[in-house]
Amino acid sequence: MTTLQSAIRGIRPLTGRGGERRAGPVVFLILLWLSLVIAFGVLATLIVTIVLDGMPQFTSRLFTEYPDSSPDEAGARPAILGSIWVIVTTAVMTVPLGIAAAVHLEEFADRRRWFNRLVELNVQNLAAVPSIVYGLLALAFLSLLGVENKNIVIGGALALSLLILPVVIIATREALRAVPAEIRDGSLALGATPLQTTWRQTLPAAVPGIATGTILALSRALGEAAPLLVLGALVFVSFDPNGLLSGYTTLPIQIFGWTGRPQEGFHELAAATSVLLLGVLLAMNAVAILIRNRFQKRW
Amino acid sequence: MTSTIARKGGPGLDPGHPPAPSLRGRRRPGEALAKLALRIAAAVTVVTTLGIVVALLVPSLGFFAEVPLGDFLFGDRWAPRFADASFGVLPLVTATLWTTVIALAVAVPLGLGAAILLSEYAGPRLRKVLKPLLEILAGVPTVVYGFFALQFVQSTVLREWLQLPTGAFSVLAAGLVMGVMIIPTIASISEDAMSAVPQALRQGSAALGANRMQTTLRVVFPAAFSGIVAAVVLGISRAVGETMIVAIAAGNQAVIVTDPLQQGQTMTGFIANAALGDSRVGSLEYDTLFAVGLLLFCITLAINAISIALVRRFREAY
Could you read off the pLDDT of B261-273 as tens digits, one per residue?
888 999 999 999 8
Rounded Cα distance between A23 and A21, Å, is: 7
The answer, yes or no, to whether ipTM is higher than 0.95 is no
**CA dist., res. B120 & res. B206, Å (int):** 13
pLDDT at A17 over 70: no
Q: Which amino acid is at B60?
A: S
Burial of residue A282, with CB atoms counted within 10 A of its CB: 0-12 exposed, 13-18 middle, 19 or more buried: middle
CA distance A217 to A228: 16
For residues B189 and B298, give the distance between their C-alpha atoms in angstroms, rounded to a whole number.
24
What pLDDT was estimated at residue B316? 58
Suggest the residue from A35, A148, A278, A293 to mutate for an interface test with chain B (most B CBs closer than 10 A): A35
B142 touches A223 (CB < 8 A): yes
Residues within 8 A of A (CB atoms), B 276-305 only = 276, 278, 281, 289-290, 293, 296-297, 300-301, 303-304
Asked if residue B25 lies in contact with residue A191, where contact means CB atoms within 8 angstroms, the answer is yes
For the four alpha carbons of A187, A188, A193 and A199, in that order, the dihedral sign comes to positive
CB contacts, 8 Å: A98 with chain B: 41
Range scoring the smallest mean pLDDT among A50-64, A74-88, A170-184, B177-191: A50-64
Q: A111: which chain B residues are within 8 Å (Cβ-Cβ)?
A: none
The answer to whether B45 contacts A165, with C-beta atoms less than 8 Å apart, is yes
Predicted confidence (pLDDT) per residue in A22-78, tens digit: 788 889 999 999 999 999 999 999 999 999 989 888 888 888 888 888 888 888 999
- Among B210, B147, B195, B302, which residue's Cα sits nearest to residue A125? B302
Q: pLDDT tier at A274 (50, 70, 90 boundaries)?
A: very high
Relative orientation angle of helices A131-144 and B29-66, to the nearest 10 degrees: 90
CB contact under 8 A, A225 and B142: yes
- Residues making up chain B, counted from first to last: 318
Question: Chain B residue with minimal CA distance to A220?
Answer: B139
Q: Is the pLDDT of residue B317 over 70?
A: no
| Integer Cα distance of A285 and B141 in angstroms | 12
Distances (CA, A) of A235 to A224, A238, A248, A259, B132: 16, 9, 8, 14, 36
- The answer to whether B304 touches A125, Cβ cutoff 8 Å, is yes
